[in-house]
């Protein structure tokens, strides 16, 4: 049995490389991506529950999956994207530094160590929820949280991780049982050419 990580669909701000306020919704293409990953998961089957970040861009993605699977969506604030505080709403490329890699907390935001600790708590929550199932668990979350899980409990090679662009609605699957081996990384087989992002948009934030 496995845990299936799904990054949320595209938003207009994500595509424009702007750090996203909490209330940012999916774009039209993001909604199409969400429907596409929902169809793929429904065809795959063997899914018992859906756990999601409660931020709108993830929640809307999870709702599309829930509708396709006939399952309710359970919210977990632990799955939220890193909080960039006063930097939210700012164009990434005009800041003069990489906020996605900064260790300290931006004003009103969350430090990298605090975020990493929260990601670990989210990982443990996934495993607890999965243990209640006799099926796979879908987890809908955000780019930086997935990246932090890959770097931490999923032990992905740092060089390979540094080169990885996590696509919108990409699917990554890992074994729920230790050592939590990755079965699939950054899968986008459910997206057609018009739905795929061009790797220009932000992969987190």
Active site residues: 8, 81
Answer yes or no: are the C-beta atoms of 12 and 27 closer than 8 Å: yes
Distance CA 87, CA 187 (A): 30
Phi, psi for residue 84 in degrees, rounded to 5: -95, 10
State the Cα–Cα distance between residues 120 and 69, nearest whole angstrom: 27
Q: What is the largest CA-CA distance in the chain?
A: 48
Q: What is the DSSP letter of 80?
A: S
87 touches 102 (CB < 8 A)? no
Residue written as tokens 């931490």? Answer: 152
Please give the distance of CA 90 from its chain centroid, rounded to a whole number.
21
Going from the C-alpha of 56 to that of each of 21, 75, 104, 147, the distances in angstroms are 10, 11, 26, 20
Sign of CA dihedral 193, 189, 154, 130: positive
How large is the C-alpha radius of gyration of the chain? 16
């Amino acid at each position: 049995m496995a845990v299936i990580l799904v990054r949320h669909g595209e938003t207009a701000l994500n595509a424009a490389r702007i750090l996203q306020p909490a209330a940012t919704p999916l774009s039209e293409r993001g909604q199409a991506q969400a429907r596409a990953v929902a169809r793929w998961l429904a065809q795959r089957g063997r899914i018992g529950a859906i756990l999601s970040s409660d931020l709108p861009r993830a929640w809307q993605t999870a709702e599309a999956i829930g509708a396709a699977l006939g399952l309710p969506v359970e919210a977990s604030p632990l799955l939220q994207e890193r909080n960039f505080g006063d930097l939210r709403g700012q164009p990434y490329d005009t800041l003069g530094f990489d906020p996605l890699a900064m260790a300290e907390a931006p004003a009103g935001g969350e430090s990298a160590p605090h975020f990493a600790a929260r990601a670990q708590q989210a990982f443990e929550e996934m495993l607890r929820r999965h243990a209640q199932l006799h099926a796979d668990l879908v987890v809908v979350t955000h780019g930086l949280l997935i990246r932090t899980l890959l770097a931490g409990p999923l032990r992905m090679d740092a060089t390979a991780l540094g080169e990885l662009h996590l696509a919108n609605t990409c699917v990554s699957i890992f074994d729920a049982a230790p050592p939590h081996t990755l079965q699939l990384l950054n899968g986008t087989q459910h997206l057609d050419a018009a739905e795929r992002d061009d790797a220009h948009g932000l992969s987190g934030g």
